[in-house]
Structure 1
């Protein structure tokens, strides 16, 4: 396919996403299934156009005075990808499958000299209704943080120290451009490629099949490190999902002690079994919610780790379509879910034990305000400083920019080069 046909396809997919409220990945997969002639390079280019258009939808729509799929797709190609008007015009003229040629108004708005006053939320590519939350979280850095969340995410990997060391993995992945991550001592990063760039399929690598590394964002790795799961401890991963953090905790424990993996949604838990086998994690007991309970664990855990359900605002780089589907109603529902999870999970912490609360959100309502709520409802718990743990475990790394008075931390793409992750810690009073 030529670029003109790819632009037309991206417009078609974006129209499908908007008109039928479908997830971007599903819409792209269905397009590919119904257009078998499109090669892997074509599908990559179309996917990149779609996701970049969604990442920057507000700023591009303001620039084009239209949020229609055509407008934001053409602007993505000319502005975000820096192809320029001439290349865009050629793509539209030289391919019979391309969209219609540029109008005079479109040309004017795509000109480098075009000047437009944008609102702060549009410049940040953050939904307007959510902007006060961003200002509350980031103050004068709100636009910078929003812009960072509108960029492409790297591929981050965690070295599985049960089977390999980082130098060994880096050597095997040298052909991918893999480098040492900026903060995590076990992290490896493959930087995002611009425009038509295709990221390597790391799951096809021999090292992945052998369990030498796992796909895991650096912020997620750091949350597991800061939990300080130790050899011989009793640990409950209460919202284990597919098991990424479970495996990181098992590696920290060096397969010693007992780690329980649980999730209320058994479908989310399903992939964990294959991952445990590949990683060589032997101290994990999976608790299926359909057939077992956690009653025997009440008051017994040294550590309860909660990767709480949330809006996912911290991972907008990876799921940009979710940014525009989020509503105040769904945010309120997540806040209620988090309080339910916190209360239930706290029952399993033993006196003197600790509980770690993590979200992939940057919103205060899901983070600092939830910590304040929980402490107010549970007088037998007190806050523990996460930044103190950071200074102890990562002494050579710069401190995170966003640290609360109680010592909770917020990691972000702009400040730490990671996904947006919040980490808080509680300790249950000893009798």
Structure 2
């Protein structure tokens, strides 16, 4: 049974969500207009909303909003106690939309992972993961990435002294692995072509030890403003932020040692964190985004130096946006040689159930001399 405060807020948020507005966006808008809510209350409300969409197809559509919320939380409680209480067949039929089967494998372990609360990952400054984990108390390091810290506490991280002084960024483990795959060296010139709010730009800049430069481009000026604020807090200055809409008119004529294309995608890899998107993403979205991804790869690849490296990353797992894109690009560009990703295969899939992180796909090429 959920408390009345959480129910009232969650019910209002659910009523405001539509196919045109993501649940996380609705939550952000709601909390901006209800600033008096304390962080623990916000977390409880957010979790209730996400649990609702996680178990949406199990709920009685004719029941009241309160009853459906109670059903969802009861299912979550039972699943957390014993994941096998929900049969694999039921998960395959209900946890994801039917069309997904034509785009990717959906093993039972993956589907079970989608029904769990997602991990919260932090990226410490290089070499400081153990110290950060100790200072935050409820946190632990991992062998999967040298600077990754999994936070398990309840305090408001944005109000901690460690955050204010730039000792960490909130960045999912999957995203951190992209930066590690890029592995830029101090003094190099890199291009983060679809930088967004700068999570990967800051990681590249950190790995470069504030030497060299990262060109950070995005079509959204507000995102770049956020990038600049984050960089200032982290005391990272080896970047240059520029608007770029993805067109053939490039932001610079510079040739780069490395290019990271974290392309727009369907976000299927984030469905554990954003379960509402399972029911709003369509095959048409996937097809349209795949077209954009192909175009962006073609556009940015011409800006590589000889021996330069191109890293393609998407937080999705669909074939149309991952292996199909990478294979076709390799076939069309014999001058670009596929490279091992993180010492493994030229194409690496980060599965949520294997890494306890967002699903990611990473491919890498090196331009021949």
1:73 aligns with 2:69: yes
1:149 aligns with 2:114: yes
Kept in 2, the 8 Å contact 1:224–1:245? The answer is yes
TM-aligned CA deviation for residue 2 of structure 1? 6.9
In the other structure, the counterpart of 2:136 is 173
Kept in 2, the 8 Å contact 1:7–1:74? The answer is no
In the other structure, the counterpart of 1:294 is 251
Please state whether the residue corresponding to 1:282 is helix, strand or coil.
coil
Please state whether the residue corresponding to 1:352 is helix, strand or coil.
strand
Kept in 1, the 8 Å contact 2:180–2:342? The answer is no
Q: Distance in 1 between matches of 2:111 and 2:88?
A: 17
Please state whether the residue corresponding to 1:356 is helix, strand or coil.
strand
In the other structure, the counterpart of 1:90 is none
Kept in 2, the 8 Å contact 1:339–1:370? The answer is yes
1:343 aligns with 2:282: no
CA deviation vs aligned residue, 1:179-236 (integer Å, no higher than 9, x gap): 1134111111113x8xxxxx43211111111111111111111110111101221111
In the other structure, the counterpart of 1:409 is 348
1:246 aligns with 2:192: no
In the other structure, the counterpart of 1:258 is 213
Task: Select which of 96, 112, 122 maps to 1:126.
Answer: 96
Q: Structure 1 residues 33 and 369 mapped into 2: Cα distance closer, same or farther (>3 Å)?
A: closer
Task: Select which of 143, 147, 164 maps to 1:186.
Answer: 147
Q: Structure 1 residues 116 and 216 mapped into 2: Cα distance closer, same or farther (>3 Å)?
A: closer
Between the two proteins, the alignment pairs up a number of residues equal to 362
In the other structure, the counterpart of 1:86 is none
The runs of 4+ residues in structure 1 deviating greater than 4 Å are 29-43, 64-71, 114-120
In the other structure, the counterpart of 1:324 is 279
Q: Distance in 2 between matches of 1:122 and 1:326?
A: 17
Q: Distance in 1 between matches of 2:308 and 2:352?
A: 31
TM-aligned CA deviation for residue 116 of structure 1? 8.7
Q: Distance in 2 between matches of 1:313 and 1:411?
A: 12
CA deviation vs aligned residue, 1:50-100 (integer Å, no higher than 9, x gap): 111112223x23xx47698555422122221349xxxxxxxxxxxxxxxxx
Kept in 1, the 8 Å contact 2:351–2:358? The answer is yes
Q: Distance in 1 between matches of 2:257 and 2:235?
A: 23
In the other structure, the counterpart of 1:106 is none
TM-score in terms of structure 1 length: 0.76
Kept in 1, the 8 Å contact 2:336–2:366? The answer is yes
- Tell which deviates more after alignment, 353-362 or 178-187: 178-187
TM-aligned CA deviation for residue 247 of structure 1? 0.9
1:159 aligns with 2:130: no
In the other structure, the counterpart of 2:82 is none
Q: Distance in 2 between matches of 1:186 and 1:115?
A: 35
TM-aligned CA deviation for residue 328 of structure 1? 1.3
Please state whether the residue corresponding to 2:17 is helix, strand or coil.
helix
RMSD of the alignment, in Å? Answer: 3.0
Kept in 2, the 8 Å contact 1:264–1:289? The answer is yes
Kept in 2, the 8 Å contact 1:181–1:218? The answer is no
In the other structure, the counterpart of 1:94 is none
Task: Select which of 317, 325, 328 maps to 1:373.
Answer: 328
TM-score in terms of structure 2 length: 0.87
TM-aligned CA deviation for residue 331 of structure 1? 1.1
Larger Rg: 1
Q: Distance in 2 between matches of 1:382 and 1:244?
A: 27
TM-aligned CA deviation for residue 15 of structure 1? 3.4
For structure 2, list consecutive stretches of 5 or more residues without a partner in the other structure.
80-84
1:310 aligns with 2:265: yes
- Tell which deviates more after alignment, 41-50 or 152-161: 41-50
TM-aligned CA deviation for residue 9 of structure 1? 4.4
Q: Distance in 2 between matches of 1:426 and 1:280?
A: 31
Please state whether the residue corresponding to 1:424 is helix, strand or coil.
strand
Q: Distance in 2 between matches of 1:219 and 1:246?
A: 15
Q: Structure 1 residues 301 and 68 mapped into 2: Cα distance closer, same or farther (>3 Å)?
A: farther
